[in-house]
Structure 1
Amino acid sequence: MTNDSELHALDRLRGLVEKAMRGAGAGSLDLATDLPWLWLVRRPAPTPAGRGILSPSVCLLVQGEKEMLVGQQVLRYGPGCYVQAGMAMPVSGQVTRASEAAPYYGIRVDVDPKEVAAFVLEMRLQLAGGDADPPVVTVERADEAMLDVFVRFLRLLERPRDVPVLGRLLKQELIYHLVTAPGGATMSRGAVGGQRERAVGDAIHWIRTHYNEPLSIDALARTVHMSPSVLHRRFKAATVMSPLQYQKQVRLLEARKMLMSGDVEAASVAYEVGYESPSQFSREYRRLFGAPPLKDAEQLRRQPVAAQP
């Protein structure tokens, strides 16, 4: 339940985002800031579902409502909630409530898992125990202290001279609130503990960097020093999909990027992302995106580009 102080902080944030967006122009959708890892997001109307890779980040929803599909799990959230991703994850997301009069507003902070680990270890934070495999993506409610950090982020942007120094300190404060909040294990996973805690992250990284290669679960399990059955169970608990399903989504999303560049054949892209059969590629592409490869890419090139799903 949001209290009066949190509502006041959300009102302040809404005003600050509106001010920044007015300065950028009415057509702006994703606004980069002087902090290279901080983005402001605006949508003037509900959007169709968009698929992509959600990078390690936290996005606070200031106004509107959104829905995200992670595997088979549907996450719905509104003002004062934030979605956090501790690792790269294929997702589908859409804005479900927004209008010209009351746009969807979000504030996104990109987070490097290595900086989270370094901060946790440097500060010697005692993190609460939890599931061995916390979800890679969760939705949580921001408390007043966390909302205040976002307010100070936007206030800081009005003082360019202070941005290089104070921006880094504020980001560390945000990381502190994230890893100590309920659901903080999503951000701190892999930051502490042994090989078992890092295994799923290592497996995700391997698949992301070798997505166009054949995937052997036995070989991947040896790479991350786990048995195949344990890796499969822990991977699915964290990502809501199997390693092979994860690889398939990454392949198709990478193919979509290539197709959007134009002047490429679907068959060539199929081989480049690791498919042996162009017909299988086309079937699975259409099943995921709802249209054949070239038609889907053509439709996407006519739409505004969004930074994240």
Structure 2
Amino acid sequence: MSMQDALTELRRLALKHADGARRDTAIPRLSISQAGATTQATPGVYEPRICLILQGATCILIGDQAVHYDEASYFVSTIDVPASGAVYYPGAGSDFLSITLKFDPSVISDVLISMGENAPGIPTQPSCGFGIAPVTPDLLDAWLRLLRLTEMPDDIVVVAPLIEREIIYRLLLGPRGCTLRQIATGGSRLFQVRKAIGWIRDNFAEPFQIEDLAARAGMSASAFHRHFKAITAMSPVQYQKQLRLHVARRKLIADGGDVAHVAFSVGYESATQFSREYARMFGASPAKDGVRLRRLEVEAAVVRQSFVGEAPHPPAATLSP
């Protein structure tokens, strides 16, 4: 089967099981996203994942970097990173479509062990924890066989893990293989920095000293700051600030709390500073943005109802990219 034929069938399967937004499938950690028009940048925290676009294109803003990709390439993130993603409408009568598989470090470790000497080496220099690479026929074929399992639910529990291993294997052999390996390799710079990232995510409202984070990562303060910036495209302070603002936005969507309360709950000491940085990042004040987002959530619930025949859900507690 040619790559174009495989892509055509992937689109058919994705459209059949999409619901007009983002939907988790019966296959563990696999989701389908659909958008009917160009969207503004939508913020969220990207977990370690691979994303394959089936139709359209997207731009992801991470720190000071903009990553553009379409059907010819795939996006890989090996860290939890605050980001904003905007999708581009592919043309009249076509929806944006993508499929995403979140990484399981234990699966990556198992595949690495099986690869033995053929496993990619660990980079000696710090490398970015995200990026794109060209789609290959073998990788696209594995994706197609995985998505076909949505039509064969009884086969998922046995067959899906085998295909997931193949996808990981293909990725490890590709241009992002060295970076992907670091998710499961103790002692790598990415592995060390991820310890600090995990602490920031769990304690985003707490102040920190660079020296303390560096100690958690087992590095000197200067080396930690350099590697953190190389891997995440932002400094530790910038990372925490973006994470706080993303969490604050979810809180505004979920419960519509007053701005000052939300600001203090995510670690800000000044509601004025919070509102200023929020507006700079999201293009509107917290109050106005919260009202707009809650309205969009209600509209999305109505769309879901038309697809699945269920009562509209209350506003979601999370905003996924």
Corresponding residue to 1:165 among 151, 158, 169: 158
> Which residue number in structure 1 is paired with residue 295 of structure 2?
302
Query: What residue ranges of structure 2 are gaps of 5+ in the alignment?
Result: 301-315
Letter in 2 for 1:71: G
Aligned equivalent of 2:187: 194
Within the alignment, does 1:87 sit opposite 2:79 as a pair?
yes
Which piece of structure 1 moves more, 47-56 or 297-306?
297-306
Q: Distance in 2 between matches of 1:236 and 1:244?
A: 10
1:203-246 Cα offsets, whole Å, 9 max, x none, are 11111111111021011111211111000000001111000000
**Per-residue Cα deviation, 1:275-305 (whole angstroms, up to 9, x for no partner):** 1111111111111111111211111112247
Equivalences for residues 11-160 of structure 1 within 5 A:
11-21=8-18, 28-99=20-91, 101-121=93-113, 123-124=115-116, 126-130=119-123, 132-160=125-153
Q: Following TM superposition, by how much is the alpha carbon of 1:195 offset from its aligned partner in structure 2, in angstroms?
A: 5.3
Q: 1:276 to 1:37 in 2, by over 3 A?
A: same
Match of 1:51, SS state, is strand
Note the C-alpha offset of 1:100: 5.5
SS in 2 for 1:296: helix
The AA in structure 1 aligned to 2:46 is L
Unaligned runs of 5+ in 1: none
Question: SS state of the match for residue 127, structure 1?
Answer: coil
CA contact (8 A) 2:256 2:290 kept: no
TM-score of the superposition, structure 2-length normalised?
Answer: 0.87
How far, CA to CA, are the matches of 1:308 and 1:258 in structure 2? 13
Write the distance in 2 (CA, Å) between the matches of 1:40 and 1:196: 32
Partner residue of 1:182? 175
CA deviation map 1:24-54 (0-9, x unaligned): 5xxx222321113111111111111111111
Structure 1 counterpart SS, 2:119: coil
Could you tell me the TM-score, scaled by structure 1's length? 0.91
Which residue of the other structure, out of 7, 25, 28, is the alignment partner of 1:10? 7
Distance 1:206 1:262 in 2: 26
SS at match of 2:2: helix
Partner of 1:157: helix, strand, or coil? helix
- 229, 239, 244: which is aligned to 2:232? 239
Q: Letter of the 2:166 partner, please give it.
A: E
Q: CA deviation at 1:63?
A: 0.8
In 2: Cα distance, 1:260 partner to 1:197 partner = 32
CA distance in 2, matches of 1:123, 1:39: 27
Q: 1:190 to 1:77 in 2, by over 3 A?
A: closer
Is 1:273 aligned to 2:266, yes or no? yes
Aligned to 2:308: none
Using the alignment, how far apart are the partners of 2:268 and 2:28 within structure 1? 35
The one-letter amino acid paired with 1:45 is A
* Structure 1 residues 259-284: Cα deviation after superposition (integer angstroms, max 9, x where no partner): 11224121111111111111111111
- Seen in structure 2, the aligned counterparts of structure 1 residues 151 and 164 have a Cα distance that, compared at 3 Å, is same
Q: 1:85 offset after TM fit, Å?
A: 0.9
Distance (whole Å) between structure 2 residues aligned to residue 196 and residue 16 of structure 1: 39
What does residue 261 of structure 1 align with? Answer: 254
In 1, the alpha carbon distance for the partners of 2:319 and 2:252 equals 18
Amino acid at match of 1:175: I
CA contact (8 A) 1:66 1:97 kept: no
CA RMSD of aligned residues (A): 2.0
Change in CA separation of 1:43 and 1:195 when aligned onto 2, cut-off 3 Å: closer
Are residues 75 and 31 of structure 1, via their aligned partners in 2, closer, same or farther at CA, if it must alter by over 3 Å?
same
Return closer, same or farther for 1:110/1:193 CA change in 2, 3 Å cut-off. closer
